[in-house]
Amino acid sequence: TAGGEWCPACGLATPVPGTPRDALLALAKQSILAKLRLPARPGAPQPPARGALLAALRRMRAQRSDTAVFPPGMLPNGAVPHLNPGMGRQEYEILSFAEAGSSTSHSVRLHFRFSQELAGSTEILQATLYLFWAVPSPGTQPVTIRILQPDPAGPNMTLSSETRLEVQRSGWTTLDVGPAVRSLFGQETPRLTVELEMPEAWGSPLPADPNDSHWPFVVAQAQARTHHRVHRR
């Protein structure tokens, strides 16, 4: 504030009238980065393909409207959602697209990375994996989805959970990966690894063209962790 007063009531430096614009711009940057818990602005992003992004947003809205159809406060099964214990805490919605990992003729690994800043300062409320199956021929086909965790003892991966599906036709499938992402958020490099195993005839579930709108993605909801609060008596 260049000698401006420090306002005791609101804990904010009171900009002295006539403060140079650059100083105010620097204050704006610092304020946003601090609130997002970012040490510095992220580098130039690699945006997802437009088709994949639009498809993901449509799926997310469709998922959300399913719950909106029911009276406020009532879930489809009649249960009343628990009130968010962290009412008033800053919430985040994260959309993460898959990175293709190693693959064989009948399996492929997908990686979903989460930033350390978010992982270190938030807790996961829920996380959902969206997968699109392009079934080449009619009939029911077995598919296996494995959630893998990094093995603390070595470079390998350990099986965290396994889900078997019977896929009858092309379409989207969703899978709750909340527990897996929740446990990741306590680790050094939060990266979710998903292994898909399909019938040999299908080939890879990943679209050949990355611009394809059926790229797998994860949607996670998180909220700021509570810091240790000191209550003044």
Nearer to other proteins, 91 or 162 (CB): 91
Q: x/- binding map, residues 21-50, to other proteins, per CB under 8 A? A: ---xx-xxx-xx--xx----xxxxxxxx--
Those residues with Cβ within 8 angstroms of residue 108's Cβ, 6 or more apart along the chain or in another chain:
100, 101, 102, 195, 196, 204, 205, 206
Nearest approach, Cβ of 125 to other proteins (angstroms)?
Answer: 13
Say how many C-beta atoms besides its own lie within 10 A of residue 141's C-beta. Answer: 18
Stretch that binds other proteins, among 11-19, 76-84, 101-109, 173-181 (CB under 8 A): 11-19
CA distance 38 to 23: 20
Q: Which helix or strand (DSSP H or E) is residue 29 part of?
A: helix 21-35
Q: Does 9 bind other proteins (CB under 8 A)?
A: yes
| Cα 105 to chain centroid, rounded | 28
Of 7 and 159, CB closest to other proteins: 7
* Among 221, 224, 192, CA closest to 127: 221
Q: Pick the piece of the chain touching other proteins (CB under 8 A) from 109-117, 123-131, 151-159, 171-179.
A: 109-117
Residue 92 interacts with other proteins (CB under 8 A): yes or no: yes
- Are 117 and 222 within 8 A, CB to CB? no
* 37 versus 106: smaller Cβ distance to other proteins: 37
The amino acid occupying position 65 is S
- The verdict on 226 binding other proteins (CB under 8 A) reads no
Positions that interact with other proteins (CB under 8 A): 7-10, 12, 14-15, 17, 24-25, 27-29, 31-32, 35-36, 41-48, 53, 88, 90-97, 113-115, 117-118
